Structure 1
Amino acid sequence: MGTKNSSSDLVSESRKRRCIKDPVVDSGVVPDECIKIYLVSSKEEVDSVDISPLQDLDLNQFFEEDDKIYGYTELKITIWVSTISFHAYADISFQKKSDGGKGITDLKFCLQKIFGENLIDNKDDFNQTFSTEIGFVKSVVSNGEVLKQNSHGAHGSKKSVSEGDLSDVEVIRIVDIMSVGTLYSRLVPFVLLLIDGSNPIDITDPCWEIFVIVKKKRDEEVDNHVQLLGLAALYRFFHYPNSSRLRLGQILVLPPYQKKGYCRFLLNALTEFAHSEDLYDLTIEEPLDSIQYIRTCIDIERLLAFEPIKTALNSTVLRLKHENLSKKSESSYFGPPPSVTEEVRKSLKINKKQFLQCWEVLTYISLIEGGGDKYMENYKTVISDRVRADIIGKECGNRKKVIDIETEFDEEMSFVMFNGPGNPVEENEKGQEEQMRELVEERMRVIESIAAKVSNSN
């Protein structure tokens, strides 16, 4: 039999219940919201309000399993990265630490995932690197091979880079393995932060080749200071029986120097290098749209001056002017002859896939120059057939089809799926056609933009 609680016991229990608070759950902080990264070229720029942080960085991937920081209140992390030595310093401030059930994130460990040994703990030591490391880039590239561009490549670069800037800019192939390792290890943070989906390359693999674009700067205190503007990493493959292929795996122009023509300058130099080495071809691994755009502009200018394609191009344009493609039930081939494709690869080192995209632009330019606006419907039909073949496949009639079959088991599971001719559901077909139309329109916009860009530069 139980005993009754006295009134004093009830009051004491009530007070205990009031003292117990609900536990504070730490929802975490998104790194992109509390971390700012600045590129600085002098100690005077550190803490300056006149510079802007890097934009569109994916920092979340370096923090915890769910991409958040835990255990800090009012957390702010400011990171300065030197464009002289590529060291980094992080200034971390917060109100307090508290374990809200998720633990406390080790910030230094996470930042070292990005910056590694480049991360300096002391701000004064970081500031000193602007003077002690001023000759770092110059020492790394001093034994490199300066790439020489022909007159056409240099002319193309001058369209984007001013005469004064161009005279001081060089593209250098780093041939010393120790120099490659020293430089690339300091540039890994930029590779991780600024190149989508990239991982550091294995610099011990001799098939990797590193090219840098640098600018010589006049400095009263330092003789011939060299500023690194960007880099490219290319992999050399063997091509049977006695040639090599070069594939561009990573290319980066540092943010302060972007949109000034340096990427074009660098790509031009790589193209000339492939030609001088008599490589089989030069390709780009999964290029971003911006890189593909610049690359195509460069290749179009070279192709316009390449005599062997003119006859084939004129023949294609003539067909577009005299055939009515809207009345044809099957698509016709309006691409370059195989012999021309091979000649372009041999002479200009442009691979087949890239040349086919360039051919579309070349055809468009030739139509426009010949007053062919009235033939543009034919041209759009050709582009539509090309997009359809790329997306769906050349055999557009082959589709997945489901057929019911008799079975002694569960009737709901009695079907067979196979690839074969058949009509899709009407609703899916409408959606697919709408997507196809949008893709064709987007491709036309790119073609028109490239054509205008090339025309304005000539």
Structure 2
Amino acid sequence: MTLLNPDDATGWVTNSNQAITIRLFSGEDVMSVEKFLKQNTTNSALSEEECDLDIVEFHPSFTYTVFGELEKIFGYKGLQIYLNYAAGSLMTYLQIFYKNTVNKIETIENVSLKVDEIEEPITKVLSSDLLHSISDFSKAVVSESIDFTPNGKKIHQYTLSNENDCVYEIYENNFSDKEFRKFHQRLQTFVIFFIEGGQFVDDTDEKWTFYTLYKKADYCGKNVYSFVGFCSVYNYFHWPDNIRARISQFLVLPPYQQSGHGSKLYNFIRQSILSNTLIVDLTVEDPNEAFDDMRDKNDIKWMLSAGNIKKLDKPLPFKDLHNLMSASKFCKKQLIRVAELCLLKNLNNKSSKSDNFKEYRIWVKKRLFRQNYDMLIEMEPEERKKKLQDTFDSVYQDYIRILSTI
């Protein structure tokens, strides 16, 4: 029997983000799906007989909710965890493969080494209707490739200029639909894997509105749907009889990122907010940097297309800004940020020594001082002045970066 020195135990540690592969399946032949699933392989190894399968693969960004803060799994060699999804309905089948476990290795000291549990913690974040056999999953894939249509009401569609064989559709849903609640139980696992700090939401609360995004492709005269992403919006009460809408979760799956889908989804949601007279503004819950960038760029483009940016030709008090930009339904923080970006754009690269730029710099610095008052007021005057200038320089460079992409 092979002996294991405890110092060599690190060789039995696997990064859980890399061990897990998420796969979205479409296909019309049950035997082809079954044959592929019985192999411990990726879609790059599809044979000619399996060419009718469409399998999209990617890894999760975060697995600490399942496997701990370090995102490590101990005790396996050659570990592969496959989360297999039917591309449209997200019906799920879990597979776990490995070549060896540390349980079979004898240590040279009186040390007991045990493998980390895999199936139990990962099953906790999967839906209760998890499929348990290759046969059942294969049949589900083929059935929905023929018959599946998304839940909810189709409210928008668009195409991409570089894709001629498909269309993307957005559907609106809420938890009053029992079928959508079942679908959401499968969908919400992606929240854990791709949104840092993401949590499951209460699916009995009907104040949630969900926008799901699908790719619809023609395959031999049939429409085949693949899930692309989603956005959840919570509708808060706003006195006396209005609503404040808050984007809570926003996700485009990795294979579809960097193609404009996030902007398409966000712009449609914003346009829906603007056309709803009950909604007073749109906020975002804990956005990450990538979402902030996408949001800023699209909000400025909207200001440009609406002609509103031309009206902003000088620094204004918040009250005047709000009156000027009220139709945008930006929340206060975003309204100020967009106004600062738009006015900087209107300066047309004027010299930093010009009166217009000096006025702009003072305007932004006043906002930064109010925003960071508690910290700045504790500093000595010279230190405060330097800190405020450094903060302004950082904001200014970030604004230049954003405007350079528009």
* TM-score normalised by structure 2 residue count: 0.77
1:113 aligns with 2:127: no
Structure of higher RCO (CA pairs closer than 8 Å, 6+ residues apart): 2
Residue aligning to 2:84 = 81
Q: Secondary structure at the match of 1:203?
A: coil
Determine if contact 2:24/2:57 at 8 Å carries over to the other structure. Answer: no
Deviations 1:393-447 (A, max 9, x none): 27833x2xxxxxxxxxxxxxxxxxxxxxx639x9xx59x956x666444422331
Aligned residue identity for 2:396: M
Same amino acid, percent of matched pairs: 20
The question of 1:365 aligning with 2:317 is answered no
Residue 138 of structure 2: which of 117, 127, 131 is its match?
127
Mark the CA change 1:108 to 1:35 in structure 2 (over 3 Å): closer, same or farther. same
Aligned ranges for residues 24-423 of structure 1 at < 5 Å?
A: 24=6, 29-32=13-16, 35-42=19-26, 43=33, 47-49=42-44, 54-55=58-59, 57-63=61-67, 68-70=72-74, 72-82=75-85, 83-86=87-90, 87-98=92-103, 100-101=111-112, 103-117=114-128, 119-134=130-145, 138-141=149-152, 144-147=153-156, 161-162=160-161, 168-175=167-174, 177-220=177-220, 223-278=222-277, 279-306=279-306, 310-311=310-311, 313-314=312-313, 316=314, 334-345=315-326, 347-368=327-348, 371=350, 374-375=353-354, 376=357, 379-380=360-361, 382-390=363-371, 392-393=372-373, 396-397=376-377, 399=378, 423=380
- Residues 30, 389 of structure 1: CA spacing in aligned structure 2 closer, same or farther, 3 A cutoff? farther
Greater helix share, 1 or 2? 1
Contact 2:13 2:76 in 1 (8 A): no
8 Å CA contact retained: 1:213, 1:228: yes
- Kindly indicate whether the alpha-carbon contact (under 8 Å) linking 1:85 and 1:137 is maintained by their aligned counterparts in 2: yes
Shift of 1:48: 2.4
**Alpha-carbon displacement from aligned partner over 1:340-393 (angstroms, at most 9, x marks no partner):** 414523x22111210100011111111017x55653565445444433443x32
Check conservation: 1:145, 1:174, Cα contact below 8 A. Answer: no
The alignment covers a number of residue pairs equal to 370
* Aligned partners of 1:336 and 1:359 also within 8 Å: no
Is 1:452 the counterpart of 2:388? The answer is: no
Instruction: Return the alpha-carbon distance in structure 2 between the equivalents of residues 193 and 305 of structure 1.
Output: 36
Deviation at 1:187, TM superposition (A): 0.8
Distance 1:274 1:200 in 2: 24
Indicate the larger mover: 49-58 or 107-116.
49-58
State which drifts further: 243-252 or 298-307: 298-307
Letter of the 1:368 partner, please give it: N
Unaligned runs of 5+ in 1: 1-20, 149-153, 317-333, 400-421
Q: Distance in 1 between matches of 2:164 and 2:323?
A: 37
1:6 aligns to what?
A: none
> After alignment, is 38-47 or 353-362 more displaced?
38-47
**1:89 deviation in Å?**
2.8
Q: Which moved more, 1:273-282 or 1:437-446?
A: 437-446
TM-score (norm 1): 0.69
Structure 2 Cα separation of the partners of residues 216 and 281 of structure 1: 32
Q: Are the structure 2 counterparts of residues 379 and 394 from structure 1 closer, same or farther at C-alpha, using a change threshold of 3 Å?
A: farther
Cα 1:216/1:49, change in 2 over 3 Å? closer
Deviation digits for residues 296-347 of structure 1, max 9, x if unmatched? Answer: 2222122234466644x22x1xxxxxxxxxxxxxxxxx345514414523x2
Do the aligned partners of 1:234 and 1:249 also contact (CA within 8 Å) in 2?
yes
Larger strand share, 1 or 2? 2
The separation in 2 between residues aligned to 1:121 and 1:34, in whole angstroms, is 23
Q: Provide closer, same or farther for how the CA distance between residues 62 and 266 of structure 1 changes in structure 2, counting only shifts above 3 A.
A: same
Per-residue displacement from partner, 1:51-90 (whole Å, max 9, x unpaired)? 89635622243136875434x3425123143333422332
* Residue of structure 1 equivalent to 2:107: none
- Contact 1:216-1:224 at 8 Å conserved across structures: yes
Instruction: Give the aligned residue type for 1:283.
Output: T
What is the DSSP-based 3-state SS (H/G/I as helix, E as strand, rest coil) of the residue aligned with 1:245? strand
Select between 30-39 and 230-239 the one with higher mean Cα deviation.
30-39
3-state SS of 2:347 partner? helix
Q: In structure 2, do the counterparts of structure 1 residues 342 and 201 end up closer, same or farther at CA, with 3 Å as the change threshold?
A: farther
